[in-house]
Chains A and B, each alone.
Chain A
Amino acid sequence: METFWFVAVALMLAVYIVLDGFDFGTGIIYMFVAQTDEERRLTLNAIGPVWNGNEVWLLAGGGLLFFAFPKAYASGFSGFYLALILVLWLLMLRGIAIELRSHLDHPLWRPLWDVTFSVSSLLLAVVFGAAIGNLVRGVPLNAEGYFHTPFWTSFLPGPEPGILDLYTVSTGILSATVLSIHGAYYLAMKTEGDLYQRAHRFAKVGGWVLIPIILLNLLSLKNVQPILSANYSAYPIGYTIPLAAAVALGLMLYFGQKGRDTAAFFASCLFILAGIGITAWGYYPNLLISTTNQSYNLTIYNSATSAYGLQVGLIWFGIGFPLVLAYTIFMYRSFWGKVTPASLHESY
């Protein structure tokens, strides 16, 4: 039962990163690939009907974590206090920038929100990547299962690390790179003309830059957190996940070269899902790993709510999750296809 909810929470957050990831990525490359006002409006329209729904996956994933593993939610959210509040402020600025930017036609108004949108997207991608890095590296949990960690200490992983150290910054850079390529393929899939050309070129070149960054991360991973490999040694079937990630990455590069952007985008989705799957497989059954003492780790067993709570949750999750999938698929199908300059004038 605990395992089911571990998978459910991981899945919700993985879908969140895939979906909101492409609109973060779109935001990161926005200033470079979309140069005229019309191109910028087209870009925002490409994510306009869906970005808000994408963000709901974060809320729903957080809600599930709160319900199923209250202790881990409490410990993790209070431990990363400043970083999470920073995420909130960035999410706010970004949301407001998207919503307000095109409402007013003034030469100062639009550039202001353009930069806000782009910078907040970049920082969010880095921070979410660093967050995963923090989970992997571990945090200084005490015997009560709480921790408090500052933004930085010595920039080196150790028993008393900061939120930002060499390892987590490198996962942040990895995340920003992956998501900007992801966003570029999404934009290429949704647009035409010059905008399409630039997004496509960005994604194609970016794909090759990605490979050394991934290798660097994989190499440091073994030193930073050796316990992740235990599940792989015990259940070698898990090795299919990194294999799937490698295949997805290969397909993404291949389709990118062939100019098949839709296929490349889906390969990128699969690559991100598999990437999170790699972490989740190694991480199970932990929810937070302690850097001070392995017996302080928060696991799905010592953090879970009562058996009744977990079971009764199945009822509403069983009804709600298919509904959520249905809305999401329906939404994406309805707004499928390229956004064109004409579509800017037909919202009603």
Chain B
Amino acid sequence: METALFYDRLQFAFTITFHYLFPQLTMGLALLILYLKSRALWTNDEHFNNAARFWIKIFALSFAFGVVTGIPMEFQFGTNWAKFSELTGGVIGQTLAMEGLFAFFLESSFLGFLLFGEKKFGPRVHWMASLMLFLGSWLSGYFIMATNAWMQHPVAYTVAEDGIFHLTSLWGLLTNSWLVWQYAHNMTAAVATGSFVMAGVGAFYFLSNRHTDYAKTFLRTGVTAGAIASLLLVFPTGHENAKQVFEHQPVTGAAFEGLFQTERGAGMVLVGQPNMETLTIDNPITIPWGLSLLVYDELWAEVKGLDAFPRDEWPDNIPLLYYSYHIMAGLGTIFIAIMVPAMLLLWHGKLFKTKLVLWGILLITPFPYIATTAGWMTAELGRQPWLVYGLLRTSEGISPLVHSGNVLFTLIGFVGMYFLLGILFLFMFAETVSHGPEPQNAGGDAPVVHSPY
């Protein structure tokens, strides 16, 4: 049983991490595409339409990979986590079914319009399709976050004698207090990914002296949105998330920070390695009083350390949780350090002359993916050892009759399949970027763009 649990966890972690590489880009781009389409509709400038078309192509590519890697997520609740599904389906089945009905149909229908419908239905319908796509993808994020928020901070339920969770208020489930900041933080992170990628492609074109007009548009849009998103990620959304973790999951908060002993005026560890033998941090570099100040706005506030909690309630991989949290927070700081100066340079009209910053923007492109992955690892490893925080342990959720050999078989299969998908995505992405945003003229005046199929 022990190994089946391990492989079940690894398979879910692996498949969801890989899956989420795609939606974070599409949700972020959906907002930026809506902006570009609105500019195009407002100014009647074909430049913005071409820019939007280019990003719709990237969007469609990422969306397709998001769809095919997303289907396994819904299936795996049943295939690998049958007991969890049986016990909590009455609650989280609501949000997952609503996601299908309200978000997936919206997205998949209007993506068709966005890809095929511009010539046939005109600019207004095309703009509306981009709005619907934005709504659909953000609504999808909302229902998934509502599901996760309930697992982090269960509300609106009763537990029957047989251990089955029953929903008592749909409204309560959809307005879970945990959800507000978690959703805001996650969607801001998606905007960061979308805008960093847009700015990065802009920087790539600009520095290699190709498609310079479009490069400037991508950089202006990406840098502005990226700087705003980077700031919002730290304050208020990141800060408020950390506070609610310390309030409702104090043991998780202590593990984030590597705080083994309860302290007054607790310092905040910037760098250091958690030593699980001695229960201390090796080689710490610490900001004195930092943690007390951050969590309770008071220098001498007491912060509970891991020692205040029974060991069987500690997250089961504290070093990994600690590193995830620190990588997320560290990268968030670096994002601000690059994007905010870039925005200031942009305002003063100097960005396109400052090569060093443009190189920085180019090289930082993959890092929002890493930060977002680390952020989700923080949330999910932090929830351990629970599936439903404080109520249902992870070891109690797996499928009773699916043995470890089966799960290892499918895990290996997923690794192989996703390796292939990853290569294909990068290849197609590079192909699309090297093609560029300029419309091809087939002899005549009208731009000819071929059907994607």
Contacts and interface: CB of A to CB of B under 8 A. Distances in A.
5 contacts: A66-B89, A66-B96, A73-B93, A75-B82, A348-B118
Interface string B88-116: 11110110111111101110110111011
Contacts of A321: 101
A66 B75 contact: no
Interface string A159-170: 000000000000
Given A77-B82, A78-B80, A331-B109, A59 B93 contact: no
A56 B93 contact: no
A173 B379 CA distance: 46
B119 interface: yes
A32 interface: no
A327 B401 contact: no
- Name the residue in B79, B80, B449 with the highest tally of chain A Cβ atoms < 10 Å from its Cβ: B79
A79 B401 contact: yes
Nearest to A339: B451
Contact of A317 (B93, B101, B104, B118): B101
B27 to A, nearest CB: 17
Contacts of B83: 74
Nearest to B111: A52
B452 A48 contact: yes
Contacts of A313: 94, 97
Interface string A49-75: 110110110111011101111110111
A324 B75 contact: no
Contacts of B80: 78, 81
B447 interface: yes
A104 interface: yes
A101 interface: yes
Contacts of A104: 431
Contact of B93 (A41, A67, A82, A334): A67
Contacts of B452: 48, 99, 102-103, 347
B97 A147 contact: no
Contacts of A63: 74, 93, 96-101
Nearest to A54: B108
B117 interface: yes
Interface stretch (B166-174, B184-192, B275-283, B381-389): B166-174
Interface stretch (B223-231, B284-292, B405-413): B405-413
A182 interface: no
Given A59-B71, A66-B77, 16 more contacts: A45-B451, A60-B97, A63-B98, A67-B94, A67-B96, A77-B77, A78-B82, A81-B406, A92-B72, A308-B166, A309-B167, A328-B109, A331-B109, A335-B112, A346-B451, A347-B115
A96 B427 CA distance: 13
A231 interface: no
B85 interface: yes
Given A48-B453, A53-B105, A88 B75 contact: yes
B53 interface: yes
A318 to B, nearest CB: 11
B67 interface: yes
B311 interface: no
Interface of B: 53, 60-61, 64-65, 67-69, 71-72, 74-75, 77-80, 82-83, 85-91, 93-94, 96-102, 104-106, 108-109, 111-113, 115-121, 166-168, 170, 399-403, 406, 409-410, 413, 417, 421, 424, 428, 431, 447-453
A321 B105 CA distance: 10
Contacts of A348: 53, 118-119, 447, 449
A346 B424 CA distance: 26
A328 B104 CA distance: 12
Nearest to B86: A74
Given A88-B71, A309-B167, A67 B97 contact: yes
B450 A66 contact: no
Given A98-B453, A348-B119, A67 B89 contact: yes
A284 B450 CA distance: 49
A320 B98 contact: yes
Contacts of B424: 96, 100
Given A78-B80, A84-B79, A60 B100 contact: yes
B101 A74 contact: no
- Name the residue in B90, B121, B166 with the highest tally of chain A Cβ atoms < 10 Å from its Cβ: B90
Interface in A144-174: 144, 146-148
B64 A95 contact: yes
A88 B72 contact: yes
B99 to A, nearest CB: 7
